[in-house]
Chain A
Amino acid sequence: MRSNRLESEPGPSRLASPLALEVDGLSVDFSSHEGNKRVVDGVSYAIARGQTLGVVGESGCGKSMTALALLGLVPKQGCVTGRISVSGQGLSEIAIDEWPEIRGKRIAMVFQEPMTALNPAMRIGDQIAEVLHLHEGLSWKEARERAVEELRLVGIPSPAERANAYPHQLSGGMRQRVVIAMALACRPDVLIADEPTTALDVTIQAQILELMQRLQDEIGMAVQFISHNLAVVSEIADDVIVMYAGQIVERASADELFSNPLHPYTQGLIATLPKIENRQDELPVIPGMVPRLDGTLKGCRFAGRCVKADSECHALIPVLRSISPGHDVACHKVRP
């Protein structure tokens, strides 16, 4: 997460910090009788320890699918290609029955809906203890004791009593804290947060963001923070990638992206940001529709909605290229 300390440090030391997550050419395809649909298309990025990468884009652009691919949780019909490695360990080659050892231990995930993400028939203390029991070989009793500590860590008042509560007895914000405690219980290298605050109201949202930032400072994990809301991402992320129709269309540091957005899609996202902050559940709207992803499309995927589109855009696929140091854009009309 961003802190003044990190920003004041010179660039090279930041580059030197080891990469917690590397993703290279990640694609997810769904084939059906209607043909192939590539919902994530050649996505590459890396996140260093202690850093936060924001992933933004309209709903349906493949953010969640990218996240699920990192956990090996893409639905059975989907086919994942590309390379993923966590702290240098490649995950692409591992067998299906090795995935459970990665999930929750090396890479953990916080989901969008705190109301439905927890097992309604299990005490929250047990749900946290389960991760510790599975990965750290703790006995059930030890795991329960650690679970109380984890609840305390995420700021749940009287954690020992609350550990016995069922999810329905907690508010949305409290539940999201429980989900975060569960995700961080084994101190993973990478935390993926998929719209973790979207379902919460503004005050709670700020508290959860603050909590995540504090925990990142303490634990030092890399965070991939997914949101359709650029305003939220700009608060929390060091770097941001903007996704459109399964592809990365722009990548820059959060400050650079916000002050100098270059891709017409990013510009559109910023222009449609709601002026009043508390309307964050309303999706930004750029006129037009996302094209079909069946591979028949030539040219830029955004061309149908882009004010700057011309014949070149409809004929040639733009590739992601560096425009200035640390700022990559996939657009014919943006040149270095």
Chain B
Amino acid sequence: MIVFLLRRLLGMAVVLLVMSFVVYGLIGLMPGDPIDLMVLSNPGMTAADADRLRALHGLDQPLIARYWRWLIAALNGDFGFSRVYARPVLDIVGPALWQTTKLVALTLAISSILAIALGIRSAIRPGGKFDTLISFVSFAGISIPSFWLALILILAFAVGLGWLPASGMGRPGEGGFWDSARYLILPVATLVIANLGGVTRYARSSMIETLRMDFIRTARAKGAREPRVVLRHAFPNALTSVITVIGVNFGTLFSGALITETMFAQRGLGKTIYDAILGNDFNLALVALLFATFATLIGNLLADIAYAWLDPRISVT
């Protein structure tokens, strides 16, 4: 287990390293650097001033050398300053990561539990009334684009009924828990609805498949009653493959969260990355992207660990 974890963590480090280099390079190749922006916004600055500033910030050096300096600093915990916010990048990325993590974790928990419950119930009588209804609803959920769904939800619950805020995330330190939770409801609902259909259909088919297996017949032949057969025998076996799909979906869910939180004007990683790229906020965009990647990798790792833990046939060594 420890060897497995070490190997996976090493792999993650390599991915992040390559990723940071590629993103650094891409941003470095983009036309215009921060000094050009300063020149634009300050007509009094001469070309000589600009060159002096470039030399000061090391921007006249080759890309590799600049990347190397950035990397050494980053490994020492110094991720640099955000140009737009004029604050350390971590001060901005930290809360944004927390915001996105809340959104993703809530969505994941709610949609997994719902999907598994609905999937099991559908699988008990495939083709029955419940199954037909759920199949239809899942299909609808999969087909509706999430930005459209977000708009509908805003129109219905924020504009129409006025129950929930349309966007934003409340001011920290103000109002109680419920006050800040209210802002999460619509984004989470959007993501859950968008995510639920796929996982439900998967949970259903994996339950149906499991219920056809020989050991289910053995369980019945033992005298186990149906609820026990379904929950104690079929469910744990079906769960392993559902967990895999949830793990595989994690990346999609994460990027979906980035889009959804932008729709709802929540300052999560998605909106941070988006604003940073538009504002040419070099450091911030890079670090936020790296943290988003890191979070996705951690999610996949957790799914793999859960999978190995649930299925005794998988040994992680």
Chain A residues within 8 Å of B, Cβ to Cβ? 71, 73, 97, 100-105, 108-109, 111, 113, 116-122, 130-131, 134-135, 166, 168, 179, 182-183
Q: In the docked arrangement, what's the CA distance between A120 and B240, Å?
A: 12
Q: In the docked arrangement, what's the CA distance between A122 and B215, Å?
A: 11
Residue in contact with B221 in the complex, picked from A108, A119, A121, CB distance below 8 Å: A108
Q: In the docked arrangement, what's the CA distance between A293 and B213, Å?
A: 27
A131 touches B215 (CB 8 A): no
Residue in contact with A119 in the complex, picked from B215, B223, B225, B240, CB distance below 8 Å: B215
B313 touches A131 (CB 8 A): no
Most A CB contacts (10 A, CB to CB) among B213, B214, B225 go to: B214
Residue in contact with A111 in the complex, picked from B218, B311, B313, CB distance below 8 Å: B218
Number of residue pairs A-B, CB distance < 8 angstroms: 71
Q: In the docked arrangement, what's the CA distance between A318 and B152, Å?
A: 73
B218 touches A100 (CB 8 A): no
Q: In the docked arrangement, what's the CA distance between A183 and B217, Å?
A: 13
Per-position binary interface string of chain B over residues 223-234, scored 1 when its CB falls under 8 Å from any chain A CB and 0 otherwise: 111000000010
Q: Counting CB contacts under 8 A, is B180 at the interface?
A: no
Residue in contact with A73 in the complex, picked from B221, B236, B310, CB distance below 8 Å: B221
> Could you pull out 23 A-B pairs where Cβ atoms are within 8 angstroms?
A71-B221, A100-B224, A100-B225, A102-B223, A103-B221, A103-B222, A104-B221, A108-B221, A111-B217, A117-B214, A118-B215, A119-B215, A119-B233, A120-B215, A120-B311, A121-B311, A130-B222, A134-B222, A134-B224, A166-B313, A168-B313, A182-B222, A183-B221
Residue in contact with B223 in the complex, picked from A113, A121, A134, CB distance below 8 Å: A134
Q: Determine the chain B residues whose CB is within 8 A of the CB of A135 once the complex forms.
A: 223
* Contact A122 to B233, CB < 8 A, known contacts A100-B225, A103-B220: yes
Q: Determine the chain B residues whose CB is within 8 A of the CB of A116 once the complex forms.
A: 213-215
* Contact A104 to B223, CB < 8 A, known contacts A117-B215, A119-B218, A120-B215: yes
Q: Determine the chain B residues whose CB is within 8 A of the CB of A119 once the complex forms.
A: 215, 218-219, 233, 237
Q: Determine the chain A residues whose CB is within 8 A of the CB of B214 once the complex forms.
A: 111, 113, 116-117
A109 touches B213 (CB 8 A): no
